[in-house]
Amino acid sequence: GAGVSQSPSNKVTEKGKDVELRCDPISGHTALYWYRQRLGQGLEFLIYFQGNSAPDKSGLPSDRFSAERTGGSVSTLTIQRTQQEDSAVYLCASSLVSGFTDTQYFGPGTRLTVL
């Protein structure tokens, strides 16, 4: 079946512009996560959605970052007034539920470059 998809695959933007990154989770998966990976570093958790519950935003690095998940499926991560330190690969993952035994399946990521 189809895996997690993300778009765009690459995004180059100028400092100060807003960007939107999209994630389509695996159909039927109720949990959705956003992570980012800066060059030479491991993945950092950003935000988590589970069904209709309030999202866990504890990983968002600043109030310029926000995310929503419409209809319990597609999610959009928005970065306002982008800065050069926002350059990274942004990864989305989904899992069937959010239990600790559930495997998270990752998408291919969006590589964001802020000039």
Partner 1 sequence: AQSVSQHNHHVILSEAASLELGCNYSYGGTVNLFWYVQYPGQHLQLLLKYFSGDPLVKGIKGFEAEFIKSKFSFNLRKPSVQWSDTAEYFCAVTTSRGIKAAGNKLTFGGGTRVLVKP
Q: Rule CB under 8 A: which residues touch partner 1?
A: 3-4, 31, 33, 35, 40-45, 48, 50, 56, 59, 91, 95, 97-104, 106-109
Pick 28 or 42: Cβ nearer partner 1: 42
Pick 109 or 114: Cβ nearer partner 1: 109
Measured over all CA atoms, what is the biggest interatomic distance in the chain, rounded to whole angstroms?
41
**Beta sheet of 65-69, edge-to-edge order:** 5-7, 19-24, 75-79, 65-69
Least distance CB 14 / partner 1 (angstroms)? 28
CA 51 from chain centre, in angstroms, equals: 16
Pick 23 or 82: Cβ nearer partner 1: 23
* CA-wise closest residue to 8 among 73, 68, 77: 77
Token pair for 81: 């007034």
Least distance CB 86 / partner 1 (angstroms)? 19
